[in-house]
């Protein structure tokens, strides 16, 4: 099992884009009480979340997704929102120079508090940079970190270029590797295709098996779209059972069109909710504490009264930025455009850009623009209107800014209320949330559902 601090930090880091990991620990405010989903035998792992600041550059932690190849990728996934960013840099080679690499690592690591510091790589496809680039990055990061800092290296990849050499590097430096897999081959290959439109599943699984052979920690990122939205258990069981991966991140695909609608690949809001519900019901009866689903761990943090580890479920944004190959720093991975360019770290101070009025305004806008319907919503504490990039719908009252996925989130968060209350109570009483699996697994299908709804289990959480 991953170190609890690593797990939390990686979820934190990977949320902003096509990338992930789960949680075993979150942190209460203000007492900072660890929440542990794992079994008592894992308690020794608790407690590595950085908390203190010291020195003139110290600020509260922020997260950066670094993209050393910019939007360049060897695949051509139909829903990838980042490939089009190539247009922002016409004629560019899209390779991070050693100068930008050094400016980034020195400033980023230098500005983070003591404790765990996540160094996160993403793309495009970051492995196109080659093994040597990352070997240099790890060596430099080790050189610039302070003694009380603990580096956690993460990378999100499509997995197709993984070799023993890559896996050896990742294993030696304890990388947490995220691989994008959208389910069994027919579901995965629906949109995740190569430059010729061909399937990629077999190449991805080959890479995954190499990583597993080297004992590299892996999490699966699954995007949910029109092609797999009706197969939640096929997707979940494939990751858990066939692939043997214990960490899963689910990300909905929402693609607005110029005409004001959404693409045909976009996940249906109701289907998104039913997808999450189906996976949750399977998870709560079998897998709490052994399989980690980022969305569920984030929800538990919200039910425990803590700040969500996922930016999409926080009240404000602003602490998850995107760094391009050229050193350009943008407000967020989902807002890499001219309007959200904060500056360039080769000429500007990264910490000043992070704390700039423009970035603070960007972060605050998430809360300031929340529709009244969300403000008055019973599950606002867990949803917060989700990510602003998905707020392209209109409320029944005609107010703009409602999240396209609202119906799904409302159904999902309402459905999990009972089990989440049980898990939160377990945690508050010093016990482990995974005790809930025994409670729900023992309930007969015709018995009252343990969630307290008063309905039979077979029509509630025992379907």
Give the one residue of 262, 410, 423, 451 binding ligand SF4; rule: CB under 6 A. Answer: 410
| DSSP code at position 85 | G
Q: How far is the CB of 195 from ligand SF4 (least distance, A)?
A: 27
What is the Cα–Cα distance from 319 to 313, expressed in whole angstroms?
13
21 touching ligand SF4, by CB under 6 A: no
Q: Is 406 in the site for ligand SF4 (CB under 6 A)?
A: yes
Of 7, 16, 221, 306, which one interacts with ligand SF4 (CB under 6 A)?
A: 16
Q: How far apart are CA 440 and CA 456, in angstroms?
A: 12
322/457 with CB nearer ligand SF4: 322
Question: Residue 434 catalytic?
Answer: no
| CA dist., res. 150 & res. 153, Å (int) | 10
- Is residue 221 within 8 Å of residue 19, measured between CB atoms? yes
Applying CB under 6 A, does 253 fall inside the site for ligand SF4?
no
Decide: is 409 part of the binding site for ligand SF4 (CB under 6 A).
Answer: yes
Assess 388 for contact with ligand SF4 (CB under 6 A): yes
Using CB under 6 A, which of 300, 374, 424, 427 touches ligand SF4? 374
Contact present, 35 and 73 (Cβ < 8 Å): no
* Cβ at position 386, least distance to ligand SF4 in Å: 6
Selected range binding ligand SF4 among 102-110, 166-174, 385-393, 440-448, rule: CB under 6 A: 385-393
Nearer to ligand SF4, 35 or 374 (CB): 374
Which residue, 309, 226, 235, is CA-closest to 272? 226
Interaction of residue 332 with ligand SF4, rule CB under 6 A: yes
C-alpha closest to that of 111 among 48, 53, 155: 53
What distance in Å separates the CA atoms of residue 314 and residue 203, rounded to the nearest whole number?
36
Question: CA–CA separation, 383 vs 272, rounded Å?
Answer: 14
Q: Closest distance between ligand SF4 and the C-beta of residue 310, in Å?
A: 8
Number of residues interacting with ligand SF4: please give it, by CB under 6 A: 23
Alpha carbons 136 and 147: distance in angstroms, whole number: 19
- Contact region for ligand SF4 (CB under 6 A) — 90-98, 159-167, 273-281, 380-388? 380-388
Smallest distance from the beta carbon of 327 to ligand SF4, in angstroms? Answer: 20
C-alpha to C-alpha distance for 22 and 102, rounded to whole angstroms: 30
Query: What is the Cα–Cα distance from 386 to 442, expressed in whole angstroms?
Result: 34
272 binds ligand SF4 (CB under 6 A): no
Q: Site for ligand SF4 (CB under 6 A): which residue of 254, 379, 427, 457? A: 379
Q: How far is the CB of 253 from ligand SF4 (least distance, A)?
A: 14
**Using the rule CB under 6 A, is 380 a contact of ligand SF4?**
yes
Compute the least distance from the CB of residue 389 to ligand SF4, in Å.
6
Selected catalytic residue, list 114, 189, 333, 434: 333
Task: Pick the closer one to ligand SF4 by CB: 77 or 406.
Answer: 406
Distance of CA 44 to the CA centre of its chain: 25
Q: Which of 44, 11, 449 is nearest to 221 (CA)?
A: 11
Of the candidates 287, 280, 277, the residue with the CA atom closest to the CA atom of residue 437: 287
> What is the enclosing helix (H) or strand (E) of 342?
strand 341-344
- Report the residue number, 129 or 312, with the smaller CB distance to ligand SF4: 312
Q: Report, in Å, the least distance between residue 55 CB and ligand SF4.
A: 26
**Shortest distance, position 249 Cβ to ligand SF4, whole Å:** 13
Task: Name the residue with tokens 């190959």.
Answer: 325
Query: Does position 336 bind ligand SF4 by CB under 6 A?
Result: no
Stretch that binds ligand SF4, among 70-78, 160-168, 220-228, 312-320 (CB under 6 A): 312-320
Q: Work out whether 2 is an interface residue with ligand SF4 (CB under 6 A).
A: no
Q: How far apart are CA 326 and CA 88, in angstroms?
A: 11
Residue 227: strand, helix, or coil: coil
Report the greatest alpha carbon distance in the chain. Answer: 66
- Rounded to whole angstroms, the Cα distance separating 327 from 322 reads 10
Binding of ligand SF4 by 377 (CB under 6 A): yes
Q: Which of the ranges 96-104, 159-167, 215-223, 382-390 carries the binding residues for ligand SF4, by CB under 6 A?
A: 382-390
Q: CA-CA distance, 242 to 228, in Å (whole number)?
A: 17
* 312 forms part of the interface with ligand SF4 (CB under 6 A): yes
Distance CA 34, CA 24 (A): 9
**Residue positions annotated with a catalytic role:** 333
The residue ranges that bind ligand SF4 (CB under 6 A) are 16, 311-312, 317, 320, 332, 334, 366, 373-374, 377, 379-380, 383, 385-389, 403, 406, 409-410
């Amino acid at each position: 099992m991953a170190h609890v601090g690593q797990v939390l930090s990686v979820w934190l880091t990977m949320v902003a884009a096509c990338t992930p990991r789960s949680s075993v620990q979150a942190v209460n405010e203000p007492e900072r009480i660890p929440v542990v989903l794992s079994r008592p035998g894992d308690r020794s792992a608790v407690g590595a979340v950085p908390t203190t600041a010291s020195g003139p550059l110290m600020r509260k932690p922020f997260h950066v997704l670094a993209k050393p190849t910019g939007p360049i990728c060897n695949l051509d996934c139909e829903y990838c929102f980042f490939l089009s960013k190539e247009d922002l840099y016409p004629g560019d080679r899209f390779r991070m120079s050693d100068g930008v690499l050094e400016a980034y690592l020195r400033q980023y690591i230098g500005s983070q508090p003591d404790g765990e510091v996540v160094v996160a790589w993403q793309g495009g496809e970051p492995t196109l940079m080659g093994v040597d680039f990352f070997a240099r990055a790890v060596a430099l990061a080790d050189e610039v970190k302070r003694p009380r800092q603990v580096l956690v290296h993460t990378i999100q990849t499509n997995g197709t270029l993984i070799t023993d050499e890559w896996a050896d590097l990742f294993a030696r430096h304890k990388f947490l590797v995220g691989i994008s897999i959208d389910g069994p081959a027919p579901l995965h290959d629906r949109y995740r295709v190569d430059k010729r439109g061909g399937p990629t599943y077999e190449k991805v699984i080959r890479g995954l098996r190499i990583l597993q052979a080297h004992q590299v920690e892996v999490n699966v990122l699954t995007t949910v779209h029109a092609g797999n939205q009706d197969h939640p258990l096929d997707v979940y069981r494939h990751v858990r059972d066939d692939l043997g991966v214990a960490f899963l991140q689910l990300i909905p695909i929402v693609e607005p069109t110029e005409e004001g609608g959404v693409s045909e690949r976009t996940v249906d809001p109701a289907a998104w909710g039913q997808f999450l519900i189906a996976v949750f019901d399977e998870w709560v009866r079998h897998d709490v504490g052994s399989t980690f689903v980022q969305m569920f761990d984030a929800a538990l943090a919200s039910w425990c009264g803590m700040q969500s580890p996922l930016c999409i479920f926080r009240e404000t944004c602003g602490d998850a930025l995107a760094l391009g190959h050229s050193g350009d720093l943008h407000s967020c991975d989902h807002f890499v455009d001219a309007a959200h360019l904060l500056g360039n770290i080769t000429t500007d101070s990264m910490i000043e850009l992070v704390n700039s009025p423009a970035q603070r305004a960007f972060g605050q806008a998430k809360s300031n623009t929340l529709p009244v319907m969300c403000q008055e919503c019973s599950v606002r504490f867990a949803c917060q209107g989700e990510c602003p990039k998905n707020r392209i719908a209109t409320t029944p009252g005609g107010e703009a800014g409602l999240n396209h996925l609202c119906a799904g989130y409302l159904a999902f968060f309402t459905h999990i209320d009972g089990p989440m209350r049980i898990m939160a109570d377990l945690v508050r009483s010093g016990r482990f949330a995974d005790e809930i699996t025994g409670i729900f697994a023992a309930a007969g299908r015709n018995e009252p559902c343990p969630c307290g709804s008063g309905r039979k289990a077979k029509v509630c959480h025992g379907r």
